Amino acid sequence: MVAYVMFAVTHPGHFEVMFRPDLYRDDDSGLREARDAAFDLLYKTARASMSASPDEDITGVVVAGWAMSHGLATLWRTGNLRGRLDGDPSAVAEHVAKGVVELGRMSARSLGQDR
């Protein structure tokens, strides 16, 4: 999450283009390779963090992590966090990452799976 937010903050033009299909050619083989490599990294990281087996479907976790990272990066870039979470964007991302962990704990408790 920290790296994602920092990329968005330090490379705003690249970040914007990456999510604007009207600004790039979706049939570009280099783009497809880069996109596949990024998703492979997301899946590899999630599998390692979860100790998930290779055949376990972790798509929900991967997309949830991406959505949270992208949402935070977008909220930061658009100024919607001013006055709520100020300071260095990497510190804010660390703070939010801790919040995500706590949300997981709360969810486990509500499902009776407290560890």
Q: Using pLDDT thresholds of 50, 70 and 90, give the confidence band for residue 88.
A: confident
| pLDDT tens track for 89-105 | 888 888 888 888 888 88
CATH 1.10.357 corresponds to the domain 2-110:
yes
What's the pTM?
0.78
* Per-residue burial over 77-115, b = 16 or more CB atoms within 10 Å of its CB, e = otherwise: beeebeeebeeebeebbeebbeeeeeeeeeeeeeeeeee
CB atoms closer than 10 angstroms to residue 51 = 7
